[in-house]
Each structure stands twice: as C-alpha cells, then as structure tokens.
Structure 1
C-alpha cells in the first residue's frame, strides 16, 4: 500500500533511504534547512555534496517547511544528528494531525541525559499524537545503498506489528529488513560501534595491521555488549546485524566518517582540524563522552572507550593510550566485568 513518508534530514543516509522508499512506490518528501540543497533536489534531482553520483527519482520532493513535510504523512523518518533530535521533535509535535508512525535511522546518545534516540522521541512526541516508535539500523553505507548494493538491516520496535510495517515499507530485492523487538540493544549497538570505529581507524593510522584490527573489533564488541546488557538489552542482539554487523562495516570502510576520523587522528592530525574538514557530523566523538559517563554511572568496565575518551577529551597521546590498554592486568576472555 502506498504511503506518504516525510524524511527529516537530506544528508547521505536520509537521501539513500528516500530513494529506497520512492523506488518501493511510496510518496516521499525530504525536509532540510539548506535552501540551495533543497532547490538542487527539486530542480536537478541530485544531492551532489552528499551523494555526488546519485540521480534521484523525480517524484522525490524536498521542502524547507517542516509543516509541509509532515502534513498528512503516514510515517515520519528522522535521519538527523542526535543533537538535533529533541528540538526537531519538539517543533514537530504541534504539526501532527493523523498519528503517524515515528521511525528513526540516527545513531547516538544524547549528551548530558545519555538517553537513546527512541527515548527522546517518546518524551517529546506524546503517545496521543503518534503511533509506535521504530528504530531502523544495521550495517549500511549510504553510498552503497544508493547504487543498489545488497544491504541487510533491522527494524526494531516494542511492537512487532510496527516493526513489520517498517519492514514492508523498505524491503526490496537489494534492501532486506529483519524485525527485532530489542530496541535497547539495537540502539546501543548502533551508537557504541562508532566509538570502536574511531579506535579501529586510529590503529590503521598508526600503522598496525589485521591482528590489531581483529583485536579492537572483538574486544570492542565485548564492551558494547557489557554496557548494553547492563541497560537491559538482549545479549543476542549484539551478535546480529545491529551489533557485530554494524561494527564490521563501520570499522573496516573508508565510507565511515568515524573510521576516517580515527585514521586521521592516528596519522597525527588534531581533532579540531579533522572535524572542521570532515564537513559532516562524526557521532562517535560525542557518543564517546556519553558512553564514558554512562559506564561510570553503571559500573561497567569499557577500557577501549576510556582510552578513546582520554585521546579525544584529555589530550592523551594515542600510542600511550594504546600501550595502557595492552599493559592492563591479564584476564580470562569470558570475564564479563
């Protein structure tokens, strides 16, 4: 059944998801704040800054008006930086008319509150104004989705019916969606893997090889799981698409902003210079701070996260931080704390 979908955020991932929805026969409208970008999408059917090779379906419209985007929408898809979620949801709420489903495909934790994105959305959009909240997450680069590369991700909601609805919206012959009801696990896997990707990139920047890459990804998954389980997640989620799957794709690809940021840091660039030149939000930087504070609050040991925090926020030398991890007391591999 054809649906109207408002996609909030015409960055690379929002644009790629808009293309999937349009190709599946849905009415799609993209909302953004940059007039030049919005005009380009409407007039040239391109979004050159984010996906330079992509020509968008001509029936995708773009608008600067949040009200125009969401009026009559069956679903609203948030694909914006974590720091903008709360304010955008707050602005959105008075505009809602027909109780749309709320979907998000963003990955991060809110600074200060340490809340997951679905928690922010639930706080700001009252239940009488919406249907269920669904998380869309997994191993996916926008650049590859845009060219119809095979991609598998997860739709997670407390309501299996809501997750199945999103599965049907997006699924086609190159974009496969699985359902899950572990919202905590899916969101925590999505957010925390960006921290490990910073470290994986730094390892390569420092000149280390595949042994080091395997080490940081494997031990990184262990600490992601520890924190997630402490928050109520199902441990099995972390061996699925939004856990190990997302970790692999983010820690091994030049498409990953977090990996590229870590790589440049490992080569000696300053964080300020890297972020200034990146031109897009690097969620792992802010997530590192939130995860570090959350791990201390919950008493969860996260040595890789702690080392990356020291590099990003305390000026620690990357090689010194790495050495400190390697010289920690020996433990059994299955030790959980």
Structure 2
C-alpha cells in the first residue's frame, strides 16, 4: 500500500494540512505553480508567504508537476481556492486514477454556477460525488502548523471514504470526526464566512460584544434555514462545521474574513481592503452566491441581504445595521416542517 498523499495547492491551509499528514509519517507531495515556492519548501522547509516562521517537516516535497505530485498517491487533498477549483480539478483528471481517495478542504461556492465544491470536482473528474470527502471545521492554519489542539470533521455519503480520511489525518493534536452530511458540512463551511465578515464589520464599527453575539446567533439561524432548504441535516449546524467554525472565524484575528469586515467597518473601500489582504477572502464571493441562491429559493437571509448591499451596492454599514434592527417583529424559533425532522431522525 502506498504511503504517499498529494496536496493541491500550497496556500496556508494546504500547507498546514500537508504538515499534519507529514507528522503522521506519510510521504507528502505538494503541488504548486510557483517555482520559487517549490524551491523554498524543498530547500528551506518553509512557506514564508503564507505561514512565515513555520518550519515544515522534511518529508514534505513540493513540485510544479501535477503528474509527479499525484502519481502513486493513495489520497489526493484539494485545497484550491473556490474560484480555481474547476480548473485544478480539470487538470487533475488526466492523472487521477479511479478509486483514489479525493478529499477537499475548500469553503465556498463556484460563483458562476452556484455549485458546491464537491459537485464541481465530481463533474470534472467524472466520478460519483458521494464518494468524495469534505474536510471542514474550526481550524486556523496558523494554529494547526504549531500543533495547537484542533478538531475537524470529514463528511461523505461513503462511510468507508470518510473513515479513510479520518485515519489519514487523525493524531494527538488533530482530532477528526466523521459525518454523513456532506451537503450540510460544505454549506456551513462556506456560509459562515459571510457572518464572519459581518462580525468583523460590527467590530470595526465599534458596536461591542452584544451586537456580535446577536449577529452570530441570527447568522447561524440563516445558515441553518438555507441549509435545510438545500437538503442538509439541521443538526450539522450545531456541530464543528457549523457553530464551531462560525465562532472561530468570526472572533479571531487570524480570520481573513473577520479582518476584511473590520476594515470595511472602519470605512475602507472594498477594493482597498482586498488589496491590503494579499490572500483570498472567500466570504466576499460567498455573499454574492448566497444572495442569489436565497433569492432563487425564496429563503429569507436578512444579514446576507444587507452585507450584499454593503459589499456590492455601496450601502453604508451603519445604514445596513439600522435596516436589520428596524425589521418587523419576529418569533425566534422558525418552525421546521415535520418531514424535515423525520428525514434526519431515521
């Protein structure tokens, strides 16, 4: 049995996951298009652009040749940005062998099609989406690379595939749970970035803890509402992929989404914020996708709606907050159709 795992690509999260796999005594091949990044990883055992000052295990090898990276690998971990997922998956198709475990750890939607990442991968590889695995949960790369205790979830309709992914990553500081609700885990991981943007914006406006607690709580209600409509298990949103990831992304300065939101709340223009970040802020793309999806499905997502108007329609953040606070009175508990509960109870 091969002891090799391929990781595509070498951003902060891909590098952190490669480090976990390397610490589990696996041979890790990391693919990137950047030749300078390859040299630094192979010669200095560092990836200073994304994780400065972090020493990488010697059994991580980088390459610009995707065929070389995936040849003989027993598993392939895709950590491409959502905007590049289709392109990377299409390139992988020429080298992927049917039956090789494919895990993705990307949080977002394809902007044009509004499809989840597992759908995009399955379309390009020509494989059954149910055999893919998604890895998600509260996990900052900056802490994982330091071996800080971290818990995540791997989800797949294929229980054997999820268990195999669990075995690959599980160790003393990286605890992995399994879940059969791939849809819910993917939606939770993508949509929480929107609420994290809002939480950063609230902090940037100086609104304090009360406002942020309300934003996270009602944001989770919106995530659950659209998730159930799209076929997710409502209990998933109370787990690691849901509330766990929401809390860590919306309250930490490691979070790009929180930082971007904070700058917006301080009055910075969106273009200026994106230029200053230097890395992808998935929540911005995801806000646009969620706004369109919720409109098509007729699902109310007032926080998403206001953030969409702030990001793309030049609405003042304070005006957006006033609109949220001035909505008609509501009951806190949205009634979920009985057939939904019965579906997931069995």
Name the TM tier (shorter chain): over 0.9
**Contact 1:99 1:131 (8 Å CA) reproduced:** no
1:121-171 per-position Cα deviation (integer Å, ceiling 9, x unaligned): 11111228x992100000000000011111000000001111010001000
Whether the 8 Å contact between 2:77 and 2:105 is mirrored in structure 1 is yes
Unaligned runs of 5+ in 1: none
Give 2:160's aligned residue.
Answer: 161
Distance 2:213 2:300 in 1: 20
Structure 1 pair 131–230 and aligned structure 2 pair: CA distance change class (3 A): closer
Distance in 2, matches of 1:318 and 1:35, equals: 41
Q: Is the 8 A contact 2:2 2:73 kept in 1?
A: no
Partner of 2:343: none
Which residue in 2 is equivalent to 1:259? Answer: 258
**Which residue of 1 is the match for residue 46 of structure 2?**
46
Q: Offset of 1:50 from its aligned partner? A: 0.9
Offset at residue 98 of structure 1 (A)? 5.6
Aligned residue runs from structure 1 range 85-100, under 5 A:
85-97=85-97, 99-100=99-100
Contact 2:2–2:72 (8 Å) recurs in 1: no
Partner residue in 2 for 1:285? 284
Q: For residue 73 of structure 1, what is the aligned residue in structure 2? A: 73
Q: What is the CA distance between 1:96 and its match in structure 2?
A: 2.1
Check if 1:10 corresponds to 2:17: no
**2:209 aligned with 1:221:** no
Match of 2:147 in 1: 148
Structure 2 counterparts to residues 93-132 of structure 1, below 5 A? 93-97=93-97, 99-127=99-127, 132=131
Q: Show the counterpart of 1:22.
A: 22
Cα drift, residue 75 of structure 1? 0.9
The answer (yes or no) to whether the contact 1:226–1:336 under 8 Å persists in 2 is: no
Matched residue, 1:239: 238
**Residue equivalent to 1:311:** 310
1:183 aligns with 2:182: yes
> What does the per-residue CA deviation read over 1:230-252, in whole Å, with 9 as the maximum and x for residues that have no partner?
00000000000000000000000
Task: Give the TM-score normalised by structure 1.
Answer: 0.97
CA-atom RMSD in angstroms:
1.4
TM-score (norm 2): 0.95
SS of the equivalent of 1:95 reads: coil
Q: How many residues align?
A: 336
Deviation by residue 1:199-243 (Cα, 9 ceiling, x = unmatched): 000000000111011000000000000000000000000000000
Q: Secondary structure of 2:38's match?
A: helix
CA distance in 1, matches of 2:15, 2:318: 38
- The corresponding residue for 2:58 is 58
Question: Secondary structure of the residue that 2:94 maps to in structure 1?
Answer: helix
For 1:219 and 1:97, locate their aligned partners in 2 and report how far apart those are by CA, in whole Å: 44
Q: What SS class does the counterpart of residue 7 from structure 1 fall into?
A: strand
For 2:201 and 2:130, how far apart are their aligned partners in 1?
Answer: 42
Q: CA deviation at 1:80?
A: 1.1
